[in-house]
Structures are given as C-alpha cells and as structure tokens.
C-alpha cells in the first residue's frame, strides 16, 4: 500500500465567477511521477498553484503529509516549484540562485534542516578545541549549503557555470538552474509548471529522460503540468487528464492510451478514430455496417457505443482479405509512416501505414479484435 502524500478533497476554485477547478478529488502518492495533462485553461496550473500555496481554494481541503495546509503560506509548505518561465533572480549568479532558499532561511530552520545534533557532533570533530557557538555552527551550515549546491549542480550537469550571470545562460541551462534551486531544499514534493515549454524539441526529449531519472534517484514526488501528451506519456507513473476543471481520467500512461474512458481523452491523447457503433453481444460489435469481433467489454446488448481505433492499429491489406474497403482521400509522408485519410462508408478514418498508397486507390482495411476499444456514449451527446 503506497502512502498518500497529497490529498485534494473536493477542491473548488473560481476566478471572476468562472469555475476553473470543479470539485476535484485527487490522491497523490509518495515518490511518484504524476502528470496533470490537459488543454490550456483546463485548471491544471491552478491545481498546481493551489498545492504550492499561491492560490487559495474556495472550497475543499488540501492535505499535504497529513496536515491541512489551506491557510499555510507558500514558504511554510514542504513544496518547491519549478516555474514555467524559470523565475531566476537576475541580480544573482547561478550558485547564488541555487543556495538562495537555504541561505535565507532562519537559523532555527537551518538547524532543523541539517539536524542540530549532527551539526554539533560534526563541529566537535572538526574543531575539537573550540567552544561550540552559534557563529561556529553557522559557519559549518554555510559550508554544507555550498556542498549541497555543488552536488545539485552536478546533478543537473551545470559544472563550470557556477559564477555565470543568469542573463548569460541558454534556455536549457536556466531550466537546470531552476531545477537545482528547487531540489537543493529537499522538498517532499516538486511541482513543475510546464518547465519544458520553452525548450526546443531535442533538448525537451533529453530533459524527459533526465527528469524521470532524477525523480527516481531523489525519491521525491514530482507533480508535472503539461499540455503535451507525449511528454506526459514518457515520464509519468500516472496521468491525470483534465478538462474544464474536472478530472476526465486518472491512470497509468498505458491505461490512458489504450482505454480512454471518453471521447475527450481519446481525442486528446494521440490521434484516434472515434466511430459510432453498436454492441451486439459479448465479443461482437457492429461498426461501419460490418459485424466484427472484439474482446473484453461488457455493455448491454444492442447498446450504442463509441468505438476507438488508433490510426496505427489499422492494417492495410489486399482487397480480398479486407473487412472494410475504403477510398484514399489523402496520403502524406510523415517520415516514419504515411498518414492516410480514407473514406469508409462515408466516415473519414486516419490510418498510419508504412507502405505507400495512392490517392483515389481502393484499400482494404482490417483491425485486430484486441485493438478495438469501446466507450460508453456520453449522456449529453
């Protein structure tokens, strides 16, 4: 049983009468990489900002590590944030930015952070003939802070840039400074607000790997906000898909991709063909006027359902083996595959295939039963 670190209970947040987060319930476990995924304006950033303490919910409770933190200011929460535009201090250099949080905390909290008993013992070992004074401990703490900073700099690969000015760094380097500045405080939770949005594709892909690796090594909870589904897929242990302030689906990347619960999730996560169909009986559906087998879904007999088939799950076959026959409307080379739009029974389907097909060709199509995903039709449709 994993330990719940953050518990959001029935959170409501409105701005100017507009509901941004609508009765949100979410439990976040210790040591997991959770991604809040959704289009802009879906409430994901607001949710993150409420956890950080920059916004206050109108209703509901936020529990972090067993404590209700609704009224705690940001500086009193065991949380650190990596901001979207980094928010590095322009008047400080790289290392000063990194030590900023630790250095400016009170003496009491510094003692707590490094453990008072440990510090005294270390001071006695180091200066056996000296009386342990506040001054001496402060000196020791300062040394430790800079050691930690060096470690953090190594962790984010910024060696040699310690004394650079912030405005002399590239976007990727600023990103790393922001990361180091947050993790040096050893937060229980690291909040990342679209931190990769400003980086180019190659750098972004590297950072995916590095972030995941860092999270595993540090053993802290990462809450990551993004609108990029690929980013979410690569890094997350669990993904929360949000829209209009409501959680649409919560699950592992695999579950979200293969078994989207509704049209929104299916549409948002990757490309997909969503076709109206009918659940005939167990393991059989009717779609595009053909009866085909499927596996593993339970609906009422003859219920209308949404059938989801991913573009890459279609098999293009010769006409004699085909279940469906379509006419190619467009065919675009996308590097690895061709993206084909084909019309079958007046429905346009997106199909990914490795072989080239010509526009206006007739093609045969087939889909394996286990690739078919069925969804209940939403009430308001």
Q: For residue 188, count CB atoms less than 10 angstroms from its CB and return exposed for 0-12, middle for 13-18, buried for 19 or more.
A: middle
15 binds another protein (CB under 8 A): no
52 binds another protein (CB under 8 A): yes
Residues forming a β-bridge with 339: 332, 352
56 binds another protein (CB under 8 A): no
109 binds another protein (CB under 8 A): yes
Length of the chain: 381
Sign, CA dihedral 375-379-380-381, equals: positive
Residue of the chain from 80, 173, 273, 331 that contacts another protein (CB under 8 A):
80
CB of 145 closer than 8 Å to CB of 107: no
Q: Which is nearer to another protein, 89 or 209 (by Cβ)? A: 89
Binding piece for another protein, criterion CB under 8 A, among 75-83, 297-305, 308-316, 329-337:
75-83
Non-local (6+) Cβ contacts of 75 within 8 A are: none
Put residue 155 in one of left, alpha, beta given phi > 0 → left and psi -120 to 50 → alpha: alpha
- As a whole number of Å, the CA-based R_g of the chain is 26
Residue of the chain from 7, 19, 100, 297 that contacts another protein (CB under 8 A):
100
* Smallest separation, CB 179 to another protein (Å): 13
258 binds another protein (CB under 8 A): no
185 binds another protein (CB under 8 A): yes
* Smallest separation, CB 366 to another protein (Å): 53
91 binds another protein (CB under 8 A): yes
CB of 97 closer than 8 Å to CB of 84: no
Quote the tokens at residue 113: 């952070």
Residue of the chain from 60, 74, 172, 270 that contacts another protein (CB under 8 A):
74
| Contacts (CB under 8 A) with another protein, residues 213-252 | none
The contact set with another protein (CB under 8 A) reads: 52-54, 73-75, 79-81, 83-85, 87-91, 100-101, 104-105, 109, 181-182, 185
């Amino acid at each position: 049983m994993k330990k719940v670190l953050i518990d959001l209970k029935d959170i409501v947040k409105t701005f100017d009468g507009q509901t941004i987060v609508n009765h949100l319930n979410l439990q976040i476990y210790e040591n997991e990489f959770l991604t809040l995924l959704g289009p802009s304006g879906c409430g994901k950033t607001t949710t993150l900002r409420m956890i950080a303490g920059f916004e206050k919910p109108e209703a509901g409770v936020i529990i972090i590590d067993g404590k209700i933190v609704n009224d705690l200011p940001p500086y009193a929460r065991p949380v650190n944030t990596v901001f979207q535009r980094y928010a590095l201090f322009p008047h400080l250099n790289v290392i000063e930015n990194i030590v900023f949080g630790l250095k400016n905390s009170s003496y009491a909290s510094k003692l707590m952070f490094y453990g008072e008993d440990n510090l005294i013992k270390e001071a006695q070992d180091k200066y056996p003939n000296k009386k342990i004074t506040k001054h001496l401990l402060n000196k020791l703490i300062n040394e430790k802070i800079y050691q930690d900073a060096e470690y953090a700099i190594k962790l984010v690969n910024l060696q040699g840039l310690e004394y650079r000015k912030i405005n002399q760094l590239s976007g990727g380097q600023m990103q790393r400074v922001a990361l180091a500045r947050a993790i040096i405080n050893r937060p229980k939770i690291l909040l990342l607000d679209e931190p990769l949005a400003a980086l180019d594709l190659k750098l972004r892909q590297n950072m995916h790997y590095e972030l995941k690796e860092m999270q595993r090594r540090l053993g802290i909870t990462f809450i990551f906000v993004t609108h990029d589904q690929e980013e979410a897929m690569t890094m997350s242990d669990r993904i929360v898909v949000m829209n209009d302030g409501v959680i649409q689906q919560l699950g592992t990347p695999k579950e979200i991709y293969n078994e989207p619960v509704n049209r929104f999730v299916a549409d948002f996560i990757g490309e997909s063909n969503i076709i109206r169909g009918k659940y005939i009986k167990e393991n059989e559906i009717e779609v595009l006027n053909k009866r085909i087998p499927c596996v593993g879904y339970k609906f009422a007999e003859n219920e209308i359902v949404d059938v989801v088939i991913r573009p890459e799950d279609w098999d293009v076959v010769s006409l004699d083996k085909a279940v469906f026959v379509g006419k190619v409307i467009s065919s675009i080379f996308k590097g690895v595959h061709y993206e084909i739009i084909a019309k079958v029974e007046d429905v346009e389907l997106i199909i990914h295939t490795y072989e080239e097909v010509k526009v206006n060709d007739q093609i045969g199509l087939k889909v394996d039963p286990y690739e078919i995903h069925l969804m209940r039709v939403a009430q308001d449709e």
